[in-house]
Structure 1
Amino acid sequence: MRQYRLGRVRDQLKALGYGGIVIFDPVNLRYATGSRNMQVFMLRNPGRYVFIPTEGPITLFDFPNCEHLSEGLETIDEVRPAITLSYVASGENLYDNAKEWAKEIADLMAQHAGSNKKLAVDYIPSVGAVELAKQGIDVRDGQEPIEHARSIKNKQEIEAMKISVRTAEEGMIRMQQALEPGITENELWSYLHQVNIAQGGDYVETRLLNSGNRTNPWFQECSDKVINEGELVAFDTDMNGPFGFFTDISRTFLCGDSEPSNEQKRLYQTAYEQIQYNIDLLKPGMTFREYAEKSWQIPDEFFPNRYFTVAHGTGLSGEYPYIVYPQDFEEKGYDGVIQENMVLSVESYIGSPGGKEGVKLEEQLLVTKDGVENFSDFPFEHRLLK
């Protein structure tokens, strides 16, 4: 799996004519090398990065005294101490450190890329970009090659992703068993985290679990609200599980033994119809625009509160591509082709502006040569489908 990923990155660099790439984003770094270290910490502290030449040995720059973490990884040829390009780590020495950092990267480019000065960087502190330019380096955006590399999975990635999904499903079962009137949103949410950590997962990216009137609009964070009898409980896993793979599945539960209201059924059945329609539509060879235009037409009532994508890529996080609603395509969309071995999460949020509740549903799917394979068989809420 590591060799496949590294090869994907290098193929993209070659296609774009780049001499190499510097990767700061810890998720991208893990993808390209299989190496991880304090991943959440590194999301805001640029203290770990890797230089990957299009051809030649790979140099990882790691946090102090962490060289041992990459022992045995065939994707890493050399480990050097990182220069952390942040004010908190450097103080008044930040600009001097940035000069030293840029010179070291420029030397590696000269050694392994020769006269090619085109260097991709996924994310970079501003002082680093300025100093690289002074070194004569032509800095290019590194997100394009990384995202395109990550978008196509191989057999090993697919199998690892299924393990992450099974882990999330176990957490969801625990949540469903624990859901009863009187539990708080935070307490219920903790079951997913506990199962994930116990099975070797990493973290949950968001706090998207809401109940009752907090289910509308979407994107309200989990709280200490007490969940009451008869309320809807909507959540999105957004879970980085075992092997770092992202499980992105959404469900909406009904709390307690009460019969659901007709309005709750209407909302749920509308969301269910949307994702089933869009799942059946999905196949390789379609363009993003074609998929958007042919996708389920959301009623005007629910359009203002729509989810921001119809579908999006899933891998080590939410990934390329984002496929938006046809009404949003000219402003926010971009085209491309849905390909075999992409993994896409198909989304639905149904809730009226000012409505009492809303429903969130989502499935995670492998694009196959014949259509799709659903990674999850977690059941829907039968009481809301009757």
Structure 2
Amino acid sequence: MPPDSSRPYKPANPYPFARTRRTPPTDLTDAEGQVDMRRLRKYRLDRVRAELKRNDFAGILLFDPINIRYATGSRNMAVWTLHNAGRYAFVPTEGPVVLFEFHGCAHLSEGLESIAEIRPAKAWYFYAAGPLVEKRAAQWAAEIADLVQAHGGGNKRLALDHCDLAGARALQKLGIDAHEGEGVMEFARRIKSPDEIALMGVSIAVCETGMARMRDALEPGITENQLWAKLHETNIAMGGEWIETRLLASGGRTNPWFAESSDRIIRPGELVSFDTDLIGPYGYCADLSRTYFCGPGKPTPKQRELYALAWEQIHFNIDVLKPGLTSKELVECSFQLPASCLENRYCVVYHGVGLADEYPQIVYLEDLESGGYDGLVEPGMTLCVESYIGEVGGDEGVKLEQQVLVTETGCELLTSFPFEETLMAREI
């Protein structure tokens, strides 16, 4: 049953899950010693093909750079190609994988055994094609249709993760039966291999290093942007790639949540809350949240009360997490927020994480009918456990988040960054 919100939730161990916490590789060299990259690529490609076969698709055409990377191991200009369809990949259920690469970039993926052929991409998005979108899309579709014909064995059911209207129409004219393919990739990506967990550990280690540098730099007079830059700098310097959001706020900007980092000067006595959403080395996501107190001085009773409630929610929800539960069953037994914080609740209680935030999204019970869906918690999933505590009309709010691996019997904590001792309202 959910806890009584008037009484603190106390795990038996004051440092819960320490016995099951993994020690991640601390740098890229350590990771490369633990991970067989060929085995990693084979595992991921095999999972994609298993989903294609399960859904009776001839193959899938991938535009999303995160999906391309998962299926092939190839990366190139990921953020730019999120909004410019300048490269794509054809993955048949059976047959050779073809990568269509941006102009002059074929050499970037040479040597990847997961890719049989590299061809120049046909750019038909408006920035590249202008008024010739329809003509270029028809040329593009003809090449894709030929691949489906060659490797589909008569099956013309093609999944696509993203495709603009001109491309979808062009494929339809050629007799290709196009289907939504994002679910194929999300289901493939949901179960992580030991190699993936090791690489995720590298991203977490990089992220936690950046978080420590942020903590060291926090003092009155620094701006939110200057503090946020410490995380970016660390990630890039240690081989990471990008950060998905700008979620750092201080003082009154922490309530309600989702204010983006700004040039606001942080003042003494304020809370500073942030959510990392960091894509680190090898493309894996470290999605952690913490709230710091900017000294000098001591936190107020209200600040400590908010922090303790967020801490209790996180640890209670980790404790009830186990495989075999449906999303609905999980949220039914999860921590219940007090009425004063319910309206300002975070958008999810748990969510999947891998190369980015991934399936599943597990929302509060109050949101299940309007914005949720049911699913199954399975061993091998990596999940983030979320909390945002901010009272409606309150002065500040607290954001906390942990990253875990679902095991056969429960879960293992993947993150180890400490909580803010000065904000603990009660002895725990």
TM-score, normalisation: structure 2: 0.89
Instruction: Check if 1:127 corresponds to 2:157.
Output: no
Instruction: Check if 1:372 corresponds to 2:411.
Output: yes
Deviation at 1:250, TM superposition (A): 0.2
Q: Which residue of structure 2 aligns with residue 285 of structure 1? A: 324
Distance (whole Å) between structure 1 residues aligned to residue 177 and residue 333 of structure 2? 41
Distance (whole Å) between structure 2 residues aligned to residue 338 and residue 208 of structure 1? 28
Secondary structure at the aligned position of 2:332 is classed as helix
Provide, for residues 203-231 of structure 1, a one-character-per-residue CA deviation record: whole Å limited to 9, x for no partner.
00000000000101111100000000010
Secondary structure at the aligned position of 2:352 is classed as strand
Which among 191, 194, 200 is matched to residue 233 of structure 2?
194
Instruction: Check if 1:81 corresponds to 2:112.
Output: no
Secondary structure at the aligned position of 1:224 is classed as coil
Q: Which residue of structure 1 aligns with residue 279 of structure 2? A: 240
Letter in 1 for 2:169: V
Letter in 1 for 2:256: P
Deviation at 1:62, TM superposition (A): 0.5
Distance (whole Å) between structure 1 residues aligned to residue 371 and residue 129 of structure 2? 38
Q: Which residue of structure 2 aligns with residue 148 of structure 1? A: 187
Deviation at 1:257, TM superposition (A): 2.3
Residues 158-237 of structure 1 mapped to structure 2, 5 A cutoff: 158-237=197-276
Q: Which residue of structure 1 aligns with residue 343 of structure 2? A: 304
Distance (whole Å) between structure 2 residues aligned to residue 78 and residue 93 of structure 1? 27
Secondary structure at the aligned position of 1:21 is classed as strand
Distance (whole Å) between structure 1 residues aligned to residue 127 and residue 173 of structure 2? 24
Instruction: Check if 1:275 corresponds to 2:331.
Output: no
Higher RCO (Cα < 8 Å, 6 or more apart): 2
Q: Which residue of structure 2 aligns with residue 385 of structure 1? A: 424
Flag structure 1 segments of 5+ consecutive residues without an equivalent: none
Secondary structure at the aligned position of 2:395 is classed as coil
Distance (whole Å) between structure 2 residues aligned to residue 55 and residue 252 of structure 1? 49
Deviation at 1:370, TM superposition (A): 2.0
Distance (whole Å) between structure 1 residues aligned to residue 277 and residue 126 of structure 2? 31
Secondary structure at the aligned position of 1:373 is classed as strand
Provide, for residues 317-342 of structure 1, a one-character-per-residue CA deviation record: whole Å limited to 9, x for no partner.
00000001111111212112100010
Distance (whole Å) between structure 2 residues aligned to residue 378 and residue 331 of structure 1? 34
Instruction: Check if 1:342 corresponds to 2:375.
Output: no
Distance (whole Å) between structure 2 residues aligned to residue 359 and residue 329 of structure 1? 24
TM-score, normalisation: structure 1: 0.99
Flag structure 2 segments of 5+ consecutive residues without an equivalent: 1-39
Distance (whole Å) between structure 1 residues aligned to residue 264 and residue 309 of structure 2? 27
State how many pairs are aligned: 386
Letter in 2 for 1:168: C
Secondary structure at the aligned position of 1:37 is classed as coil
Which among 49, 70, 90 is matched to residue 10 of structure 1?
49
Provide, for residues 268-297 of structure 1, a one-character-per-residue CA deviation record: whole Å limited to 9, x for no partner.
111111111100000111111100111111
Q: Which residue of structure 1 aligns with residue 400 of structure 2? A: 361
Secondary structure at the aligned position of 1:157 is classed as helix
Percent identity between matched residues is: 55
Deviation at 1:115, TM superposition (A): 1.3
